[in-house]
Amino acid sequence: MAPGRALRTLVLAVAGGMIAIGTAAPAMAIAPPLPETALADHTTPVAPEEPRPPLLPADFQGTGRYIVRDLGIDVPFTWQGRDGDSQMIAGGPQYPIWFTNLIYHNTLYTLTYKWPNIPLYPPQPCDQVGFFNRQIFNDKLKTARFVGPEILQGDNDRHVDHWRVGVVAGFTQPGAVPRLPLALGDIYVDQGNPSQWWQVLQFGIQNLYDPELDEWFTMDTFNHLPGQVTLPDRCPPPTL
């Protein structure tokens, strides 16, 4: 990944010149008024406008890779959305990991079929985490901090905006007070379209199966056509 662009530096060019003072005139000569262009050079520069934060669209289809570096895992990944519901699937029965996360009818689910050192029998239960939907997710994304513009280098270099969003438990006021970071996400979206996702690095308690609590996915394709979202048979229907 190429480093972000450097912060812009404003250089003020001031034209110099000699003001001629007539030797015959005893009084001090008055300098002519500055031209409008010179006055404009001394105005306070306007800070560049911050781009729009990431947005999860209602309908989309994406394919890519799910990567857990400390375990040497790099598996296929799909992420699809339809009418505000969405589903992630990483790996599969022939891969070292296989799981799905869903937002389905205002409910968040997670189901792990397969993971290193996690027994397959008895089968892992489907966790109905609780009430959650696309609107709640996008509202949280509005609090993301803009890191800067970057370039994701690969077969096709992608110009992206890098954002960081986190969840912290404890006091929200600054100062030496107790607080605990629960989750952190670095999100990379297209500079021209914040609903076009290209990469996410996630760290926190949501990655408890990974010793380093560090997982990420990168997208090879992402379009805004309605995808397929299917609640697994093992998951109970929404009750909220």
Query: What pLDDT shows up at residue 32?
Result: 55
Confidence of residue 6 (pLDDT cuts 50, 70, 90): very low
- The residue among 147, 194, 137 whose CA lies nearest residue 167 is 137
Q: What is the pTM of this model?
A: 0.78
What is residue 172's predicted lDDT score, i.e. its pLDDT? 78
Phi, psi at 65, each rounded to 5°: -130, 145
Distance CA 51, CA 159 (A): 13
Residue 20 pLDDT level (bands cut at 50, 70, 90): very low
Query: What is the CATH architecture assignment of 60-223?
Result: Clam (2.50)
Give the mean model confidence (pLDDT) for residues 201-210. Answer: 90
- pLDDT exceeds 50 at position 205: yes
